[in-house]
Structure 1
Amino acid sequence: MAYFKGELSKEEETFLYAWIKESAENKAFFFQLKNEFALQEDTDPLIERSYAELKSKLLLRQQFPSVPRKKKSSFLFLRVAAAIVVGLILGGGGTYLFSSKPVEEVKVVWFETKVPRGEKSQLLLPDGSKVWMNSESSLSYPSNFMAGNRNVKLDGEAYFEVAKQQKSKFSVQTRDYTVRVLGTKFNVTGYADFNRTETALLEGSVEIIRGKQHLALHPGQTLQYKDGQFIMGELSGGTSAKWKDNLFDFKEIPFEELVLRLERWYDVDIEVKSDDLNKIVYSGVFKNAETIEEILDIFQLTMPISYTKEDFRKFSIQRKKS
């Protein structure tokens, strides 16, 4: 293929240089790949590792079918950039950017992917692990991820399908604890305003670590950390990963949390004008394909509430008058 041979057109070179200049992070990542190549020239595993890391760095992710593909053109641009960078590293074109100076140690850089309110996204990590990210979530991983440092940081909610590697454990760091696995499927919820961190295990096994505490989790179990203590439970619709398939299935969740989730999924602001409504617990199933108005209409029929549309993206909820 062209990028392995370094057969680059002027247009491709322009793309590459524009990407490098785009941010300090891009520049640091590029020169890390350059230095690694200088240290281990012509090593196939390095080539595979560098290319895998680069593809992931350039946000090789897919938008969910229900989300408009507004960024298709930029995604294609980034794929071209990934190919060009590897082409420069492996081919004759690399002479433009490489020098004979001694290789300097490059510090670890953390790459972050953020998903805004009203959207969900899928991320492919360099090791082949898949991550489905819920609305208003962020995930970070280090530039030496493929060198054995398979540690990621999560703020928000994500579902993981981890690629198994016997000699390299995978871990997810949240604000309350760390989830350590070899290869498995699990969901982690760690929004700050939920006042809890929860892991639901669907397949395999994981270890939850907080300080000196190590707790094992088995398929069908959940572990919640709230108010300074761990609570073990059984997997239910409300703690599974059905949200990644645009199906929301809740079992006895607080009304306050329900409102926060709606705000994230539909990118709206909802004001609850009756504090006593937060005592309500909700159970139900609905699809993300329904509009926020349709969802609130259903709530009016099943709960003692009424709502008012204040603005295009602003709603208020109050207790229904007798």
Structure 2
Amino acid sequence: MIPQQKFEVAYEISILVAGYLRGDLTKEQETKLKEWQQASNDHLNWFNDFCQQEKIDQQLKMYHATNKASVWNKTQDKILAAAKVRTKGRMGLWQRIAVAASILLCLSIGLHFYLTKYTSFFLEQQASRSGITAGGNKAFLTLSDGKKIVLSETKNGVTIDATKLAYSDGTEIQAISASGDTSHYAKVSTPRGGTYEVVLPDGTRVWLNAASGLSFPTKFIGTSRKVELSGEAYFEVAKDKMHPFIVESKGQQVEVLGTHFNINAYQEEVNVKTTLLEGAVKITTSGGAKLLKPGQQSDLINGEISIREVNVENTVAWKNGEFSFKNEELGSIMRKIARWYNVEVVFNNKELSKKTLSGNISRFEQVSKVLRILEMTGDIKFKIQGKTVTVY
């Protein structure tokens, strides 16, 4: 092949490689690139090596560390050098393809667009291979006799009282109703990647977040209505002035008559947060008691309670199918993502967990899109391997 033909081939392949990294190849272009890869083991090996995320990251770090004017001047020089195909000692075929592809990427789409598109490509490919999916309606109902029932993923919630057990649409859970166990305690638990609504015997509605559990009697007896919570839940308590509703969770007791509030009491979190949307609640700990007003959030750490004003919509965004972060530490954000997508999270640099970020996105998006949004809001990167997300 004469030099001019070699350069034309290199130029055409560079266009296809650049388009592949951007994720905007046409079907015809995808076929051409695949045929070129299959034509030779050298082609395939070079392509796989050039498209490695780590190598592109390294090139981009070098770019950021270089004076931008200098980069532009050098880029022009490379274009001219590549065009001089008759010059002795010209670059090899692979080098010319790599240079041309890099130049096309930077010139045709801009560095910022390149960063977001190639990151999106890698994250989506990694997430797809790992089989990571967003959470959904998943829960278990455990009765006092130890019987454990897997609740339907096609239903939104379950209603439990002393006479029957049924899904929120009225469909009876026959196997449970027939057990005759309607006078003791029950527990609804959600796994990582699960959420479920529970209607208690008094009509109180509870939405459980991922990796949470709610224990309660199938019939409230006595002067109060007491339940136990682990994890996170949003409550809409049925009003009953004669029988206060009490939630016990991780060192605190929340007492209400009828109101809407959210409790976050995961064991892996250092604090317990109670957020009030309407009504009034009293929070009691070993250190005393405090009252919450609508729009306030209590923060319990080591037995001490502090109270502050918050945006309650951000706090209960999870119930409405959203991730909502406002100046929140990345460590806290990633714990939420880990629970919802059922993944493990590893920080290469522990200091990154203290970085604060803000953003909003649906909880039902692919994990790759959620991570990409986070990358765009701060100087962080993610890699997905199996069920592990690495932050670096």
Q: Name the TM tier (shorter chain).
A: 0.5 to 0.7
Does the CA-based 8 Å contact 2:161-2:218 persist in structure 1? no
2:251 to 173, 176, 191: 176
Deviation at 1:280, TM superposition (A): 0.3
Q: TM-score, normalised by structure 1?
A: 0.67
Does the CA-based 8 Å contact 2:261-2:275 persist in structure 1? yes
CA RMSD of aligned residues (A): 2.8
Does the CA-based 8 Å contact 1:171-1:179 persist in structure 2? yes
Shift in alpha-carbon separation, 1:81–1:257, aligned structure 2, 3 A: closer
Cα distance between partner residues in 1 of 2:219 and 2:312: 36
Shift in alpha-carbon separation, 1:181–1:300, aligned structure 2, 3 A: same
Q: Does 1:159 align with 2:268?
A: no
Q: Does 1:52 align with 2:126?
A: no
Q: Does 1:315 align with 2:386?
A: no
SS at match of 2:247: strand
Larger radius of gyration: 2
Could you report, residue by residue, the CA deviation over 1:88-136 in whole angstroms, capped at 9, with x for unpaired residues?
Answer: x9xxxxxxxxxxxxxxxx9x84311100111111000000000000000
Deviation at 1:76, TM superposition (A): 4.9
Shift in alpha-carbon separation, 1:112–1:81, aligned structure 2, 3 A: closer
Cα distance between partner residues in 2 of 1:59 and 1:178: 29
State the identity %: 30
User: Aligned residue for 2:355?
Assistant: 280
Cα distance between partner residues in 1 of 2:257 and 2:167: 23
User: Aligned residue for 1:306?
Assistant: 381
Does the CA-based 8 Å contact 1:237-1:249 persist in structure 2? no
Deviation at 1:278, TM superposition (A): 1.5
* Count of aligned pairs: 239
Aligned amino acid, residue 119 of structure 1:
G
Does the CA-based 8 Å contact 2:201-2:219 persist in structure 1? no
Moved >6 Å (runs of 4+): none
> More displaced, 284-293 or 208-217?
208-217
1:262 to 314, 321, 337: 337
1:24 to 145, 150, 156: 145
Q: Does 1:234 align with 2:309?
A: yes
> More displaced, 204-213 or 122-131?
204-213
Does the CA-based 8 Å contact 2:277-2:312 persist in structure 1? no
Q: Does 1:78 align with 2:173?
A: yes
Aligned amino acid, residue 357 of structure 2:
Y
Cα distance between partner residues in 1 of 2:354 and 2:389: 20
Cα distance between partner residues in 1 of 2:185 and 2:175: 22
> More displaced, 122-131 or 253-262?
253-262
Cα distance between partner residues in 2 of 1:146 and 1:239: 35
Does the CA-based 8 Å contact 2:232-2:262 persist in structure 1? yes
Cα distance between partner residues in 2 of 1:60 and 1:76: 5
Cα distance between partner residues in 2 of 1:212 and 1:299: 38
User: Aligned residue for 1:134?
Assistant: 209
Does the CA-based 8 Å contact 1:209-1:215 persist in structure 2? yes
Structure 2: unaligned runs, 5 residues or longer:
1-142, 148-159
Cα distance between partner residues in 2 of 1:237 and 1:159: 12
1:208 to 283, 286, 291: 283
